Chains A and B, each alone.
Chain A
Amino acid sequence: MTQKLSNQLLVAFYKEMLLGRRLEERVGQLYVQQKFSGFCHLYIGQEAVSTGCLNAIRKGQDYVITGYRDHVAPVVLGMEPGVMMAELLGKVTGCARGKGGSMHMFSEKFRFMGGHGIVGGQVPLATGAAWKIKYNKEDLVALCFLGDAASNQGQFHEALNMAAIWDLPCIFIIENNKYGMGTAISRTCSLTTLADRAKAYNMRQAVVDGRNVVNTYTQMKEIVDETRKTSKPILVEIQTYRFRGHSVSDPGNYRTKEEVEKERARDCLVLLKDIMLNQKAAKEDDFEKFEEEIADKVEAAVAFAEDSPEPELDELYKHVLV
């Protein structure tokens, strides 16, 4: 099934996913070291979703919005990792000037519309972006990421209905990591395939493998191109897994060790490495170089964030109103 991608693209994907992974591991460390506080939801395990989807769009032109597990997507879109890291540390150089934090990464430049903390609340906003595309007759799409459990929210259903009746170029992507916080989705939704929710809205649907980035990218490319062409929305379920808890403070007692181990065997980075070795896109020792390169980037991001100033108090009343 897996299509062949160029060696160059595979290397780029690997480095991008590795950057996401190592950044998040470092973020988890910083959190445990109490370098920052608040909530912290790590993306570890789901990197192939961001890389597969966001390389299938026109970065900086197509609109992207997501929930609170939002540290990696803006970096994949092109944001400097240090700017994301600075936001986590509450610094004024952060992508929301230290006012958003972990759950509210934003970048107007990369058309990254956030970073949202109310489960499912971002979904209607994506239809607004798609409405603007249609209103101005633009050749663009809107990508809306949400978690599996967000598809139980009413606003999700209202948004899908609107996108369907108005033919909005909106791609709703359920990142199905199987758990809404500590509750298995199988306990809160009677469907086994979440993409089937599209049937209620006479909407196209797709199930995408979110562990093998080659598959994710290939399928998403097709979906994005089709959506751009037809201006018809689609509900995509991408099957993935998060290796860490819902947030850093969650020990994950609601799932078995065996389940997590089984998932680790199909870690998106492991799978991609296998593909690359098979395809001779890289040699074993190349991966050490990738690690070194990424480690430098991560440390540079942390240094930038740590060296950055806190916002001044006069920042408090800025941006309440325009």
Chain B
Amino acid sequence: MAYSEKVIDHYQNPKNVGTLDKSAKNVGTGLVGAPECGDVMRLQIQVDDAGVITDAKFKTFGCGSAIASSSLATEWLKGKSVDEALKIDNMAIVEELNLPPVKIHCSVLAEDAIKSAINDYRVKNGLEEIKFAESVVH
């Protein structure tokens, strides 16, 4: 299968690979996927007092499309408010990276990782966990 140029670029030069201090109160961590399924994403956000995401990091075990989806997600997250970040839709990732149908689950995983990181941050800061509708087919 041929990958899109954007996927290849993110794979070769992934943005924001790394780890934030997951015990810090202003850091939210989302760990989604499972090794059995062939992809695991860990996405972390660091939020300032104004509720703006000042930093985002990821580590991903998975195919090129999974790596690219998470790399792109961290790029998009930086500078956004937490509320804005909640609006990131997996289909936007599909479009930006030109993912083929068999790779849509990679974008879904990235969206799940964002939501999971935000919830982790919310819970740490005494806010209620947001209940999301079951995500579409993985």
Question: Do A and B bind?
Answer: no
